[in-house]
């Protein structure tokens, strides 16, 4: 049915001819086109044969009355057709009846013929509004069904007022009015809904958020919810399943950042990651290493066996790389073990590895060697076995470059250098580093075997008691008899042993050997004190005291003749557990000497609170006392302060009589140094112990030239 504003087709049905005529004249004058029916049946025929926009029915007509016609019309065309019943004045029953059969309005007789046109005009406007509303509803409905969203209206508390549209098979989205969102969604997501409602209310805008919903153990779907306020109580929620979009985004991300063949991060991703790690290293003042790896001879696999085989080999190589760079595969002290190593494929047969938080350069070399070893295992192809080696270049931040591009370039250069060195090789960008790091690495390997292979020995340096004019104790000093390199100084291997934890078994060996050997002198009637050096790490070992007591019990060496020498550094940490250990040792009457005193920063005030018995003044001060007034003053002050605090004082590094004389003058009690004896073997100790030295106390100003 079409309606225009200008001309309505009005069907008038009345059995009263006068009324019919008057109605026709009045309506036509008002601009309407009029069709006239004498009774109900004729009205139906005319309606069927014409386009009618409005019907006026007399309630009482012969045959079909107005109510029957109205009922019929409603059945045919629904509610949209305006139907006006013409009733008698005061005929309330007819008016009610007209309402029940669906009439739009009524006009009571007698009819005011001059106003009838206006009545119709007003009705027409209401009718047009009704139609517009209906159209709007139809449009909304079409939109609801076209949009792939589930739409519902909720209250600020999450009560569902209305479900406007709903996608099929979404039992986790509201289905019925009157329920609460909580019935459908987990609490945290409901909270996000309600928060968004509140925000939308505050900002008068559309709020949106995304959320994942776990539908089964391995099924997660993603949703986007847009929220718009309707009025003070109601808010519209549009929920869209965006799982497919998320999947595509992930795919696009993977394509942009990951290598298709191996699944490893690609060049772009690597550079971004490296730049991030560099920023972090800069901030934390850390080092990092970039390893650039190239498979030797990979090109010939591609050339001779085809690209498909080449791809398979690359995939396997990537898997091996992954397994060899996995943290758990490293020995524990390696810094690569403590931070996540980043692996990437740059393209072709080129791979990169970043080690953030590099604590020492050897860690990079160790990892490179580990990778090389893993690569070297044959790849079993169906036709034959292939052995691939890797050349690896290493660049360090900040030494070899401060941005990602430069580090990568320098690692690449180092890799070419590794190839030049005969492939299956690894080189630092700075060639010197390769030598140093390799040396240390070999030493570490050898150190691991040294205990088992009995390559350690102890020598003893006498400590001279000024008052008794003879040796009262010895300091046990470890030596490593390396099968190729000969004797190696503890200064060269103790720091390494401290780094890799080997100091614990080595330290135990030193203590046991020193006690066993001291007991041999005791058998010969020589009762010497034994000074043994300790590393801070030993003191921190949980079973350290137990170990010491076991060795003393095992060997029979008396606790009060054992002196542990610890350096200032060990105490500067002020660790509670170290202090507790020292106190326990003192309870067993073991003496504790502060070694190399003066090289650290301990204040006498702090030392006073520590359970130490002796102070050993460092050699660097002693050697300067003859020609450096400051050193002289420092040594004098240390001795007098130490004695005031009740510490026994030993001076180290005495190489001349003059030094000994001055130190005696200052009141130092024990002297140690080459003047009294270099570190010597077990058997020589007895001979030295029988020697006597007479040292005269001499003021510094009176020291004669020949004594120096």
- Single out the residue of 54, 364, 494, 695 in contact with ligand C2E (rule: CB under 6 A): 494
* Residues 616, 650 contacting (CB under 8 angstroms): yes
Burial of 575 (0-12, 13-18, 19+ CB in 10 A): middle
- Shortest gap between Cβ of 596 and Mg ion (angstroms)? 4
Judged by beta carbon, residue 223 or residue 493, the one nearer ligand C2E is 493
Site string for ligand C2E, 603-642 (x = CB under 6 A): ----------------x-----------------------
Please report whether residue 552 would count as binding ligand C2E according to CB under 6 A. Answer: no
Rounded to whole angstroms, what are the CA distances from 56 to 20, 103, 428, 429?
10, 10, 102, 101
- Shortest gap between Cβ of 513 and ligand C2E (angstroms)? 9
- Shortest gap between Cβ of 460 and ligand C2E (angstroms)? 10
Stretch of 152-160, 429-437, 671-679, 692-700 lying at the interface with ligand C2E (CB under 6 A): 671-679
Q: Which residues bind Mg ion (CB under 5 A)?
A: 533, 565, 595-596, 652
- Shortest gap between Cβ of 503 and ligand C2E (angstroms)? 6
d(CA 694, CA 696): 7
d(CA 555, CA 519): 7
Please report whether residue 486 would count as binding ligand C2E according to CB under 6 A. Answer: no
Stretch of 33-41, 221-229, 261-269, 530-538 lying at the interface with ligand C2E (CB under 6 A): 530-538
Stretch of 293-301, 369-377, 446-454, 667-675 lying at the interface with ligand C2E (CB under 6 A): 667-675
Q: Is residue 209 within a helix (H) or strand (E), and if so which, with residue range?
A: strand 207-216
Q: Which of 585, 576, 574 is nearest to 613 (CA)?
A: 585
- Single out the residue of 15, 65, 446, 596 in contact with ligand C2E (rule: CB under 6 A): 596
Please report whether residue 591 would count as binding ligand C2E according to CB under 6 A. Answer: no
d(CA 678, CA 686): 14
- Single out the residue of 88, 398, 490, 667 in contact with ligand C2E (rule: CB under 6 A): 490
Please report whether residue 568 would count as binding ligand C2E according to CB under 6 A. Answer: no
- Shortest gap between Cβ of 508 and ligand C2E (angstroms)? 11
- Single out the residue of 477, 528, 612, 662 in contact with ligand C2E (rule: CB under 6 A): 477
Judged by beta carbon, residue 124 or residue 659, the one nearer ligand C2E is 659
Judged by beta carbon, residue 85 or residue 476, the one nearer ligand C2E is 476
CA 345 to the chain's CA centroid = 22
Which of Mg ion, ligand C2E, none lies near 88, with the C-beta cut-off 5 to 8 A by kind?
none
Please report whether residue 295 would count as binding ligand C2E according to CB under 6 A. Answer: no
- Single out the residue of 379, 679, 684, 707 in contact with ligand C2E (rule: CB under 6 A): 679
Judged by beta carbon, residue 434 or residue 659, the one nearer ligand C2E is 659
d(CA 267, CA 214): 34
Which of Mg ion, ligand C2E, none lies near 30, with the C-beta cut-off 5 to 8 A by kind?
none
Please report whether residue 598 would count as binding ligand C2E according to CB under 6 A. Answer: no
Which of Mg ion, ligand C2E, none lies near 510, with the C-beta cut-off 5 to 8 A by kind?
ligand C2E
Please report whether residue 548 would count as binding ligand C2E according to CB under 6 A. Answer: no
| β-strand pairing of 379-380 with 350-358 | unpaired
| β-strand pairing of 470-482 with 456-465 | antiparallel
* Residues 157, 180 contacting (CB under 8 angstroms): yes
Judged by beta carbon, residue 398 or residue 679, the one nearer ligand C2E is 679
Judged by beta carbon, residue 294 or residue 595, the one nearer Mg ion is 595
CB nearest ligand C2E: which residue?
Answer: 673
User: 190 by DSSP, 3-state: which?
Assistant: helix
Count of residues interacting with ligand C2E (CB under 6 A): 24
Contacts of 148 (CB under 8 A, 6+ apart): 167, 240, 241
* Residues 158, 181 contacting (CB under 8 angstroms): yes
Which of Mg ion, ligand C2E, none lies near 588, with the C-beta cut-off 5 to 8 A by kind?
none
Q: DSSP for 492-557, please give it.
A: HHHHHHHHHSTHHHHHHHHHHHHHHHHHHHHHTT---EEEEE--HHHHHSTTHHHHHHHHHHHH--
> What's the angle, vertex CA 73, arms to CA 70 and CA 76, rounded to 5?
155
- Single out the residue of 9, 335, 352, 461 in contact with ligand C2E (rule: CB under 6 A): 461
| β-strand pairing of 207-216 with 160-165 | unpaired
Which of ligand C2E, Mg ion, none lies near 344, with the C-beta cut-off 5 to 8 A by kind?
none
d(CA 292, CA 345): 10
Please report whether residue 508 would count as binding ligand C2E according to CB under 6 A. Answer: no
Rounded to whole angstroms, what are the CA distances from 12 to 32, 100, 114, 277, 431?
11, 20, 17, 88, 110
Please report whether residue 501 would count as binding ligand C2E according to CB under 6 A. Answer: no
Handedness of CA 6, 7, 12, 18 (dihedral sign): positive
Please report whether residue 510 would count as binding ligand C2E according to CB under 6 A. Answer: yes
Phi, then psi, of 377 in degrees rounded to 5: -65, 140
Q: Which of 515, 494, 514 is nearest to 450 (CA)?
A: 494
- Single out the residue of 214, 255, 674, 691 in contact with ligand C2E (rule: CB under 6 A): 674
Please report whether residue 533 would count as binding ligand C2E according to CB under 6 A. Answer: yes
- Shortest gap between Cβ of 616 and ligand C2E (angstroms)? 7
Beta bridge mates, 201: none
Judged by beta carbon, residue 369 or residue 479, the one nearer Mg ion is 479
Which of Mg ion, ligand C2E, none lies near 508, with the C-beta cut-off 5 to 8 A by kind?
none
d(CA 10, CA 30): 12
- Shortest gap between Cβ of 681 and ligand C2E (angstroms)? 13
Please report whether residue 700 would count as binding ligand C2E according to CB under 6 A. Answer: no
- Single out the residue of 653, 666, 685, 703 in contact with ligand C2E (rule: CB under 6 A): 653
Q: Residue 55: how many CB atoms within 10 A of its CB?
A: 27
- Shortest gap between Cβ of 596 and ligand C2E (angstroms)? 5
Stretch of 189-197, 261-269, 291-299, 484-492 lying at the interface with ligand C2E (CB under 6 A): 484-492
Burial of 343 (0-12, 13-18, 19+ CB in 10 A): buried
Mapped to the 3 state alphabet, what secondary structure does 414-461 carry? HHHHHHHCCCCCEEECCHHHHHHHHHHHHHHHHHHHHCCCCCEEEEEE
Residue ranges binding ligand C2E (CB under 6 A)? 461, 477-478, 489-491, 494, 507, 510, 533-535, 565, 595-596, 619, 652-655, 672-674, 679
């Amino acid at each position: 049915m079409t309606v225009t504003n200008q001309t309505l087709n009005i069907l008038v049905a009345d059995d009263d001819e006068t009324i019919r005529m008057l109605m026709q004249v009045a309506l036509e004058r008002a601009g309407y086109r009029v069709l006239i029916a004498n009774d109900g049946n004729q009205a139906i025929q005319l309606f069927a044969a014409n386009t009618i926009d409005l019907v006026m029915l007399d309630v009482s007509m012969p045959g079909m009355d107005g109510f029957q016609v109205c009922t019929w019309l409603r059945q045919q065309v629904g509610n949209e057709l305006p139907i006006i019943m013409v009733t008698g004045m005061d005929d309330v029953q007819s008016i009610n009846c007209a309402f029940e059969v669906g009439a739009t309005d009524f006009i009571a007789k007698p009819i005011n013929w001059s106003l009838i046109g206006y009545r119709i005009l007003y009705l027409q406007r209401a009718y047009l509004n009704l139609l517009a509303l209906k159209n709007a509803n139809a449009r909304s409905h079409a939109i609801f069904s076209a949009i792939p969203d589930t739409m519902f209206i909720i209250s600020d508390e999450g009560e569902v007022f209305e479900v406007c549209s709903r996608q099929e098979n979404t039992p986790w989205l509201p289905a019925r009015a009157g329920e609460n969102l909580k019935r459908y969604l987990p609490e945290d997501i409901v909270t996000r809904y309600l928060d968004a409602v509140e925000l939308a209310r505050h900002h008068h805008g559309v709020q949106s958020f995304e959320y994942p919903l776990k539908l089964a153990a391995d099924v997660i779907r993603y949703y986007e919810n847009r929220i718009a306020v309707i009025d003070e109580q109601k808010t519209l929620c549009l929920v869209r399943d965006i799982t497919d979009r998320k999947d595509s985004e992930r795919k696009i991300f993977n394509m942009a950042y990951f290598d298709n063949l191996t699944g490893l991060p690609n060049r772009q991703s690597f550079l971004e990651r490296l730049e991030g790690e560099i920023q972090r290293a800069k901030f934390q003042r850390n080092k990092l290493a970039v390893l650039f790896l190239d498979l030797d001879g990979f090109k010939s696999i591609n050339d001779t066996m085809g690209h498909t085989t080449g791809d398979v080999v690359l995939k396997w190589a990537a898997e091996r790389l992954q397994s060899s760079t996995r943290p758990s595969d490293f020995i524990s002290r390696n810094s690569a073990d403590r931070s996540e190593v980043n692996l990437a494929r740059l393209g072709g047969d080129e791979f990169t590895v970043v080690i953030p938080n590099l604590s020492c350069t050897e860690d990079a070399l160790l990892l490179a060697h580990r990778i090389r070893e893993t690569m070297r295992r044959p790849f079993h192809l169906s036709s034959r076995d292939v052995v691939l080696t890797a050349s690896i270049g290493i660049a360090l931040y900040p030494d070899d470059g401060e941005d990602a591009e430069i580090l990568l370039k320098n690692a690449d250069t180092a890799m070419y250098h590794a190839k030049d060195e005969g492939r299956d090789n690894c080189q630092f960008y700075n060639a010197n580093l390769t030598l140093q790091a390799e040396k240390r690495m070999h030493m570490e390997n050898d150190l691991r075997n040294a205990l088992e292979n009995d390559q350690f020995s102890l020598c003893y340096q006498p400590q001279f008691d000024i008052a008794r004019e003879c040796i009262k104790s010895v300091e046990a000093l470890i030596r490593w008899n390396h099968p190729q390199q000969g004797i190696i100084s503890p200064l060269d291997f103790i720091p390494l042993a401290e780094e890799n934890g080997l100091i614990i078994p080595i330290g135990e060996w030193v203590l046991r050997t020193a006690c066993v050997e001291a007991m041999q002198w005791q058998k010969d009637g020589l009762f010497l004190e034994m000074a043994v050096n300790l590393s801070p790490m030993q003191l921190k070992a949980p079973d350290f005291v137990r170990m010491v007591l076991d060795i003393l019990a095992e060997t029979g060496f008396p606790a009060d003749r054992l002196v542990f020498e610890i350096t200032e550094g060990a105490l500067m940490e002020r660790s509670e557990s170290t202090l507790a250990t020292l106190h326990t040792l003192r309870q067993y009457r073991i003496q504790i000497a502060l070694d190399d005193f003066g090289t650290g920063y301990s204040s006498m005030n702090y030392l006073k609170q520590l359970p130490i018995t002796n102070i050993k003044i460092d050699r660097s001060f002693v050697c300067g006392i003859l020609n450096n007034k400051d050193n002289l003053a420092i040594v004098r002050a240390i001795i007098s302060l130490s004695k005031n605090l009740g510490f026994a004082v030993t001076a180290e590094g005495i190489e001349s009589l003059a030094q000994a004389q001055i130190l005696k003058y200052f009141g130092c009690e024990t002297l140690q140094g080459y003047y009294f004896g270099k570190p010597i073997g077990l058997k020589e100790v007895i001979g030295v112990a029988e020697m006597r030295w007479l040292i005269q106390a001499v003021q510094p100003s009176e020291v004669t030239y020949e004594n120096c």
